[in-house]
Amino acid sequence: MPIEHRHLTLGRAFGETGLARRETDQQVRRWIAEVLLPTEEVWVVTDPGEVVVAMMALSSEMLDQLYVVPAWTGRGIGSRLIELAKSRRPSGLDLYTFQVNADARRFYERHDFVEVARGDGSKNEEGQPDVRYAWRPSLASVTAAEAQAGPTKG
């Protein structure tokens, strides 16, 4: 099944993802229309019926708002969006995730994102301790070269 990446059209958005959140659908749609779309590059994945099943936003250096609808996870959509993000920002990308989100952390680490900082949650709206990850093409090639060389003797 081909996956289509499309720039988000106004009015179709997050309400369709069914993700847990504190805001109402109306608030989220308004935030997407008035804040996210004008300031970030937003990509969505749609199913054959053109329903949005995943989204991702990119600022100049941050990967943000990566969500896949639960019924569509584990099928490679997140990985393809990460590859798209890397191709759109070839010099590097950073992102934040919550410390408790073990699945997302494992996912990002498998895609060569490296933990660079931890926060106590005082700087995000949810008050949740977070982790900042960075992907740099140079770091990824060093890691790959180390893996190829095998373990070093200490």
Ligand X SMILES: CC(C)(COP(=O)(O)OP(=O)(O)OC[C@H]1O[C@@H](n2cnc3c(N)ncnc32)[C@H](O)[C@@H]1OP(=O)(O)O)[C@@H](O)C(=O)NCCC(=O)NCCS
Residue numbers at the binding site for ligand X (CB under 6 A): 66-68, 73-79, 97, 101, 103-104, 106-107
Cα-based torsion angle of the residue sequence 104, 105, 106, 107 in order, rounded to the nearest 10 degrees: 50
Instruction: Report, in Å, the least distance between residue 9 CB and ligand X.
Output: 21
Instruction: Report, in Å, the least distance between residue 68 CB and ligand X.
Output: 4
> Which residue, 105 or 136, is less far from ligand X as judged by CB?
105
Sequence-ordered list of residues with C-beta below 8 angstroms from that of 7, at least 6 positions apart, any chain:
41, 42, 43, 44
Sequence-ordered list of residues with C-beta below 8 angstroms from that of 10, at least 6 positions apart, any chain:
33, 37
> Which residue, 75 or 136, is less far from ligand X as judged by CB?
75
Pairing of strands 130-135, 114-119: antiparallel
Please give the residue whose beta carbon sits closest to ligand X in the complex: 78
Instruction: Report, in Å, the least distance between residue 77 CB and ligand X.
Output: 4
> Which residue, 19 or 142, is less far from ligand X as judged by CB?
19
**Tokens linked to 36:** 């996210």
Q: Is 93 within 8 Å of 85 (Cβ atoms)? A: yes
> Which residue, 33 or 99, is less far from ligand X as judged by CB?
99
Instruction: Report, in Å, the least distance between residue 38 CB and ligand X.
Output: 22
